[in-house]
Structures are given as structure tokens and as C-alpha cells.
Amino acid sequence: MARIEWAFYALIPTFILLHLWVSPYTKVEESFNIQAIHDILIHGVPNENADQFFTANYDHMSFPGSVPRTFVGALVLSGLSRPFVWLLNSPAQLQFLVRAILGLLNAVALVAFGRSIAKIFGKSAGIWFALFQASQFHVIYYASRTLPNMFAFIFTNVALRGLVNAHAASFDGKSISRSYRLSLYLLTFAGVVFRSELALLVATITLYLLATRSLSIVGVIIPAGLAGAVIGLLTTVLVDSFFWQSTPLWPEWTAFYYNTIQGHSADWGVSPWHFYFVNALPRLMMNPITYLFCIPAALLPAATRTRSLDLLVPALAFVGLFSFLPHKEWRFVIYVTPALTAVAATGASWIWTRRGKTWLYAALSLALVGSVLLSFVASTTLLAISSLNYPGGEGIHYLHKNIDSAYGVHWDHTNVYFDNLACQTGVTRFLENHEGPQTIVDILEAQDLLSKRKWTYDKTEDPEVLLDPMFWSKFHYVLAENPAKIIGAWSTVHVVYGFGGVRILKPGEESGSLVEPLDVVARTRVADEHWTKKVAQLWRMAEGLVRYRFLRGYWVEVRMEPKIRILENQALYS
């Protein structure tokens, strides 16, 4: 039984790595940490002349963002990755490694939490937790992504494990206090360092424990809160004051003040109060049976009701309080997903163990199995579609791999410009060509840096600079969403496609072209082997096998459209 149980838990890290392999590029929300990890690993951390070193080499000095973010997660992940660098052949592989380590850390935390669920609610509940969790797209897809939320996610899951473990020590008061103290400490630390919204989760858990347990404020709550706050503050202020060269600096307070107190978060959009309950949480849970049937089923039996409420009430209270903030994103409440999934797994276990008693339990058990299978199918479909949303990453990969070798063009030095869409959809410093000087030591030793470095890159956003024809004349290649904005004589050498939407086809309706016709200028070179075309072929094959045999002629058409053009400067040939 133990081996079978671990086979189910193994689904979580397996699917996290599978999602990473299928979709290896990053989005703009992940950019700060992924660029910071690159700079730490490639350039190192200076012992002296830190300001000069950071200005010359680190991305955050050129693109600081609206508010500073913490380097703590990037520094730790860099340290964990460094022992494995010698196994890799390129910085692009290093980006994959870094994300894999983060994903596996989240997987370990999720599995540890699942094992605690099995200890309290039974092995069957642990297995259902693993099945539900592995088939949830958002948690699995984002577990390896360097969002601050996913660094905090490790701590929140370990903290939830501590809350659950407190029940296993029901006859040992010291063990109970220790488990609660550890949970509140970890949540406080993560809130201080990574995501300030966790303060609300600390509050809802603390108030719930005070209302339902004989919990010592002096012996548990105050020591845990103080330790988490003090150690968190010392960690983030020391690390971030150094990397940002600003003393003292507490990034999460700066972000909280900017986004919440000053209200700038609303600049990114405002959602209705009920968004998290009717939109975000259903999407995060993925499987509707989990919250429509399984969670209620966990609350019905007296044996599981109290312990289920211990997870459910603080989690939903946190979401309810957080709903008062106008700007809402699902990643702000992702921390409660494992708790809700655990309660759902408890209900699923209760239904499953009674499948032989009545036809109702048998039907519900069959529905559970079917819903998990459908969730895996839906999650895999979302993975395939989501992987098409990174034209910037595809573009820079194509540029380095094909331009010189395929077209017989070779420059001693190649200068490339990335526009905003390319930077937002996958371009990172890991994917740049790293031949030539990379650190300030190289810069000081090289009389002419540009003549030494093989490839250089530019991400200038200043609109006045972009209107200067001389600015564009120095580039060999440009990755651009709109070629009309690029000044000079340019030709399109490659077009990168991206996801263009879906539409439901009714019986008798023919699907259109999955890849729209290209409208490009002379010297167009489009690689037939581009992997989006392979996705198109697989999708058409699935349509032929499934649409009329099982779906009565209905189908979902996935459309691709040109997103980024790789432009070549024609003035270089004159």
C-alpha cells in the first residue's frame, strides 16, 4: 500500500516538471526574480564597489520597476542551483534548472502537506489529495515560476502542514503548541519577506485558533509573530539594502504602501467583490466536483467536520477579507488552494470508502474518478494552449539557433533590440548569448567592451529615443510586434506565432486555418519545423479522432496568429 500511495504523490512533482518542460519560457510577472537569479549566478555578488558592479551588470538597476522587490528568494534559489551548474551546457539550460528546483521545492511542500492529510484523515484522503492537486492546472503550472507568490507558497504549505500535524499530537500539549508556533512563524516570515497579503492569512488563522482552541497568546502567538517578523525583517532589510544599494530598505512594505495605501493596485484593473469566490477559486480548484460535492461531504460526518473546518474557515475568511481590495488576481489567493483541496480530498475519501453501500455512493465514486480524468485532460489542454503564449522566448531561441547557420549570415558582433511584447513573453537574460565579457572585471580589462562581446541586447522603452532613426541604425536584428514602428529599411526573416484565441465549432462547421496566412515583406523565411506547427498538426489529428466519434461534431478551434517579427537591418547590406 505504501508504494501505491507514493506513486500517487509522485504525480505532483512529475506533472510540475512536465509543465515546465512543455512551457519553459517566462512572463513579465516572473521577470524580476528570473533576471536577479541570472545576474547572481552569471555575474556573481561583489565584495567591493557594489554600486558600480550592480549598475554595470544587474538588470534591476536598468529596469527597477514601479517598486523594489526582494532578492531573498533569488539569492537562495541561486545558491541551491550553483552545485549543478557544471552539468549544464548553456545559460538557457540553467534557467530550466533554476525553475525545476523551485518547482520541486513546491512539490516537496505539497507532498508533505498531503502526507499530513493522510495521517489525520486516512491514506485514502492523501491519495485523493494527490490526484486533485496534480490535476489542478494553475498550481502545477505556476509551481516552477519565479513569482514572489510561489516562493511564499512553499512556506504557506509547510505552515498548513504544521496546523494539520497539531491534530496528530492531540494528547501532547507541548507538541501542539510547537506546531502552531511553527505555522504562525513561517506565515509571518513569508509575509514580511515575500508577500504582504499573508498578514491577513496570519490574522484569520490566529483569530480562529483563539476562538476554537485554548491557545496561549503569550506562549504561542506573540513568540511566533515576533520571531517571524524580526527574522524576516533582518533577512530582507540586510539582503535588499545591499542589492538595491539603498539603506534601510524593506521591499514588501514599499510595495504594500504603494499598492494598498496609495491605491495604485487599482491602476491594473478593478474586479467585483465576488471575483475570488465565483471566478478565481473555481479556476484554481479546476474540478467542480471538489467544491460542489466533496467539500460539503467532508462537513457532513462528525468525524471529519471539525478538522475540515479548521482548514476551511481561516482560508475562506482570508479570501473574504482580501476581496475588499479592488484589484484582484487569482495568484493573490493561491495559498488557500491546498487547504481547500485537502478538505475536498477528505470528502472524496468519505464517499469512496462507502461506494459499496448504496447506488448513490457508487455513482458519486464513479463521478469522482471520471472528474479526475477529465481534469487531467483539461489541464493538459490548458498546458498546450498556455505554452503558445511565449513568442518572445520562441523568438530569441530561433534567432540564436537559426539566423547565422541557416542563412549564411555571420557578424563578428550582433546587436539586437527587443520590443515590449518580446520582453513580456519570454525574453530573459538567461536566453541571451553569453559569449564575450559578462562581468565588471571583464569590462575593466576590456578597452572596448562592444568589440569583445559577441551579442549585445537593448530593451529601451523611452518613446523619444525610439523616434530617433540613429537609434535603430546600430541594430542587426529587431524582435518587434509592429514592424511599422521600426524606423529604417528592414526585412522580415522570421515570424513567431502565438495563441490567438479559441472558438466553439458546431456540427457541420469546418475549422479554419490554425495558423493564419502571413503578411510579410520580401525575404520572408519561415521555418516549417517551427514547433507551433507541430502543435497544429497534433490538434488536427485529435480533431479527426475525437470530434465526430465522441463529441457529435462539436470542437474547439485554437487559432494562432503572428505575434513577433524578427527583422533584419537591410542597411547592413548596402
Q: Are both 432 and 367 inside the same structural domain? A: no
Residue 527 pLDDT exceeds 60: no
Tell me: the pLDDT tens digits for 197-218? 999 999 999 999 999 887 788 8
Quote the domain boundaries for residue 244.
Answer: 1-388
Split into its structural domains, the chain has a count of: 2
pLDDT above 70: percentage of residues in the chain: 89
DSSP state of 492: E
Co-location of 379 and 506 in the same domain: no
287 and 145 in a common domain = yes
Tell me if 565 is assigned to some domain: yes
Task: Give the max Cα distance, the chain.
Answer: 84
pLDDT single digits (tens) 166-198? 876 555 667 788 888 999 999 999 999 999 999
Rounded CA-CA distance 523/346 in Å is: 61
* 382 lies in the same domain as 433: no
Domain membership of residue 365 (yes or no) is yes
The reply to whether 112 and 250 lie within a common domain is yes
The whole-angstrom separation of Cα 432 and Cα 397 is 9
Alpha carbons 139 and 287: distance in angstroms, whole number: 13
Q: How far apart are CA 317 and CA 314, in angstroms?
A: 5
pLDDT in tens, 359-401: 998 999 999 999 999 999 999 989 988 998 999 999 999 998 8
At 519 the pLDDT is: 38
Looking at the fold, whether 124 and 11 belong to one and the same domain comes out as: yes
pLDDT at position 173 is: 67
Phi and psi based region of residue 263 (left: phi greater than 0; alpha: psi -120 to 50; beta: remaining): left
Q: Is residue 490 part of a domain?
A: yes
Q: At what angle do helices 198-212 and 173-193 cross, to 10 degrees?
A: 160
Q: Are residues 354 and 497 in the same domain?
A: no
Instruction: Examine the domain organization and report whether 380 and 277 are in the same domain.
Output: yes
Determine the 3-state secondary structure of 274 from DSSP.
coil
pLDDT surpassing 60 at residue 355: yes
Are 427 and 289 found together in one domain? no
Q: What is the DSSP string of 195-211?
A: -TTHHHHHHHHHHHHHH
Is 516 contained in some domain? yes
Residues 31 and 146 in one domain: yes
Q: Is residue 183 part of a domain?
A: yes
Inter-CA distances, 94 with 34, 37, 89, 430, 440, Å: 11, 10, 8, 7, 21
| Closest to 136 (Cα-Cα) out of 439, 384, 383, 353 | 383
Q: 317-337 burial string, b = 16+ CB within 10 Å, else e?
A: bbbeebbebebbbbbbbbbbb
Q: Which three cell numbers stand for residue 304?
A: 471529519
557 is a domain residue: yes
Kindly list the distances between the CA atom of residue 136 and the CA atoms of 78, 338, 382, 522, in Å, as whole numbers in the listed order.
Answer: 28, 10, 10, 45
Tell me the pLDDT tens digit for each residue of 4-50. Answer: 888 999 999 999 999 999 999 999 899 999 999 999 998 899 888 88
Q: Last residue of a domain, which of 360, 388, 416? A: 388
Give the range among 68-77, 301-310, 365-374 with minimum mean pLDDT: 301-310
**pLDDT (mean) for 545-551:** 78
Cα separation, 327 vs 360, whole angstroms: 42
Task: Copy the grid coordinates of residue 18.
Answer: 512536465
414: β partners:
455
Contact 110, 157 (CB under 8 A): yes
Per-residue pLDDT at 175 = 76
**150 and 277 within one domain:** yes
Residues 316 and 436 in one domain: no
pTM of this prediction? 0.91
Which of 388, 418, 453 delimits the end of a domain?
388
**574 in a domain, yes or no?**
no
Residue that terminates a domain, selected from 324, 359, 388? 388
Query: Which of 405-409, 412-416, 459-463 is predicted most confidently?
Result: 459-463
Question: What's the pLDDT band for 524 if we cut at 50, 70, 90?
Answer: very low
Chain-centroid distance, C-alpha 332: 12
In a domain, 78, yes or no: yes
Q: CA angle 318-321-323, nearest 5°?
A: 105
